[in-house]
Structure 1
Amino acid sequence: MTWGWTGIRGTWTTPAAEESMRRMAEHAVTWTAIAYAAEQATPFSTEIPFEAEPTVTDDEIVASIRRAHGLGMKVCLKPVVNVADGTWRANIGFFDWDVPGEPSWTQWFASYRDFILHAARIAEAEGCEMLCIGCEMVRADGQEAHWRALIAEVRAVYTGPITYNCDKYQEDRVTWWDAVDVISSSGYYPIDSWQEQLDRIERVALQHGKPFFFMEAGCPSREGSAELPNDWNLVGSPSGAEQVRYFGAMFAACRARPWVRGLMLWDWPADLYAPEQASLNDDYCPYGKPAADVMMREYRAWAAEASA
């Protein structure tokens, strides 16, 4: 389960955050992606001021990692870049080649490198069991040489497994999977397309001989979301039944594929809503909703099968 998004400064070391993570651990969650965002100003900016607000501080990150470890969960540290003007990070982009006087991929990756290497050093010092070096960077995915250079530098400071979280439908488009240890993606697939998408992704995992899991997956508890699980702005009434329906299809499809090593569900906030408000909450978090029982049952069964 992803915890803490988007990592707003001042929200990770509160009593509410401690209670949130404790409740998450009680839901059969064995791995958590501690996810936070740094913000660049526009999709064409080349500076990522990750030490500035609103990004959480190093102390908050370290405290959250230690709290998760203390609760018995393994941690994937997940630093992500967002765009302050609201543009989706998939659209961060520049000319394919460097042009004098224009912002470039070389300039952007220099700043991104500092951000990711900073996270890598924290992950190493705190014994994080995995590091995710990027999330849904669709336009950046094509910059193979830059990614390979970054991964080499990350390996010089972080000794654990490295993954990259590509966006949905992009699993067979990334050309540098051989450079990471684990392939992962955002599995926000329509409820009736899981088999088709898993057939496609299976070819990628087998081709590269790498473990695969869904770094993000899930569905809002909202009418209509099972068909558009990636659309958090979809108009619809709160519906626990809709989320249950989606979880059932998603877990059944994934657990039937031995090469799918798990699901990192999206997401569990640092400031958790009250359980009596769960029926009115139409977001991704399953806390207090019928889908929480589905998740716990499926996670426990999956773990039992893996250890048999």
Structure 2
Amino acid sequence: MQMIKGITFAPFSRRGKLDTKAARASLRNLKKLTGANLIILVPNGLQETPQSETIARETQANATDEEFLSIIEYAHSLGLSVALKPTVNCMNGTWRAHISFFDKDVPCEPKWSNWFASYTAFQLHYAALAEKSGCAMFIAGCEMVMSEHRDAEWRKLISDIKEVYHGPVSYNTDKYQEDNVTWWDCVDVISSSGYYPVNDWENQLDRIERVVKKFNKPFFFAECGCMSTKGSFLVPNDWCIRGEAAPDEQASWYKAMFEACKKRPFVRGFCIWDWAAKQYPLSGAAANTGYEIYGKPALEVVHHYYKEMN
């Protein structure tokens, strides 16, 4: 598999925000400044709570198909490959990893069977869009931790996707979950979220490598990142940390990740979280405490390692 030098671009863009002059300018900056060869776009499906059975995609919280098709075409014109990763979120703010139901269907209770029917419809809609637009990869969701033990349903979903989309299919499991998924054999590429502490990369890569060898599949980090907030590099998955800006800590986290991974040939790429559709002024970069790397020392680190990757 070609080395993926990726950036997640404008995830969960609201209607009317993805295909704009600002978004196109931001995408040009991404191409120019990062050395990326691929972006991941993230359509936003919504369910009310973790126990809701129905997923909606035609909401104001999600870009239209026309917006996705247009920005994909524009990315291709810049020489960027595109992957689609349709992702479900809960309207009440609960993290998607906690979506769960009783393992056995119970009358008058919400059911896995109904939820998977809705999730499958959501994924297949975007699989068809990925096929139509020539996307380089389709990623069947992200960090659905409490659903991943439903082996049969996930196998059926991946099979259904492959009837619609004929490129490589992956799934983005969460950090620390790579060895809990039993159905990696049915995807083409294993991927996960690489939000590991700055001082723990070697241990986690040892564990992930055993999974990759067991299933004999390519692997990449479909998400990875660290906020430029003091202390975030020790718990980069915690987006709730608040504190002073620490751009040098963010840069050191990226350097640690790249240095650890370049010794591991099984790691075939990264997709940085994230790059906004409308960027903050460069004058505000030093004070920004989020995951963005634009205008921060971490951008130079990413560009350096992406440039040297083959």
> Equivalent residue for 1:261?
268
Q: Alignment partner for residue 205 of structure 1, among 198, 204, 212?
A: 212
- 4+ residue runs over 4 A deviation: none
Give how far 1:188 is off: 0.2
Asked if 1 retains the 8 angstrom alpha-carbon contact of 2:51 and 2:99, the reply is yes
SS of equivalent to 1:284: coil
Q: Alignment partner for residue 290 of structure 2, among 256, 270, 283?
A: 283
1:269-297 CA-to-partner distances (Å, cap 9, x unmatched) read 11111111111111111110111111101
SS of equivalent to 1:29: coil
Q: Alignment partner for residue 160 of structure 1, among 154, 167, 178?
A: 167
- Unaligned residue ranges in structure 2 (runs of 5+): 1-6
Is 1:20–2:20 an aligned residue pair?
Answer: no
Matches within 5 A, 1:116-265: 116-265=123-272
Answer with 186-195 or 35-44: which moved more: 35-44
- What is the alpha-carbon distance in structure 2 between the residues aligned to residue 68 and residue 230 of structure 1? 28
- What is the alpha-carbon distance in structure 1 between the residues aligned to residue 186 and residue 211 of structure 2? 14
> Equivalent residue for 2:108?
101
Aligned-partner residue type, residue 200 of structure 2: S
- What is the alpha-carbon distance in structure 1 between the residues aligned to residue 81 and residue 213 of structure 2? 26
> Equivalent residue for 1:53?
60
Give how far 1:36 is off: 2.5
Asked if 2 retains the 8 angstrom alpha-carbon contact of 1:202 and 1:259, the reply is yes
Asked if 1 retains the 8 angstrom alpha-carbon contact of 2:293 and 2:299, the reply is yes
Give how far 1:6 is off: 1.5
SS of equivalent to 1:75: strand
- The alignment covers a number of residue pairs equal to 303
TM-score, normalisation: structure 1:
0.97
Aligned-partner residue type, residue 277 of structure 1: G
Give how far 1:242 is off: 0.8
Task: Using CA pairs under 8 Å that are at least 6 residues apart, name the structure with larger relative contact order, 1 or 2.
Answer: 2
SS of equivalent to 1:82: strand
- What is the alpha-carbon distance in structure 2 between the residues aligned to residue 7 and residue 153 of structure 1? 26
Asked if 2 retains the 8 angstrom alpha-carbon contact of 1:77 and 1:128, the reply is yes
1:42-90 CA-to-partner distances (Å, cap 9, x unmatched) read 1111111112221111011111211111111111111100000000000
SS of equivalent to 1:96: coil
- What is the alpha-carbon distance in structure 2 between the residues aligned to residue 72 and residue 203 of structure 1? 34
Q: Alignment partner for residue 114 of structure 1, among 121, 126, 133?
A: 121
SS of equivalent to 1:191: coil
Q: Percent identity?
A: 49
- What is the alpha-carbon distance in structure 2 between the residues aligned to residue 274 and residue 40 of structure 1? 34
Give how far 1:235 is off: 1.8
SS of equivalent to 1:215: strand
- What is the alpha-carbon distance in structure 2 between the residues aligned to residue 244 and residue 45 of structure 1? 39
Is 1:66–2:73 an aligned residue pair?
Answer: yes
- What is the alpha-carbon distance in structure 1 between the residues aligned to residue 169 and residue 287 of structure 2? 38
Aligned-partner residue type, residue 299 of structure 1: Y
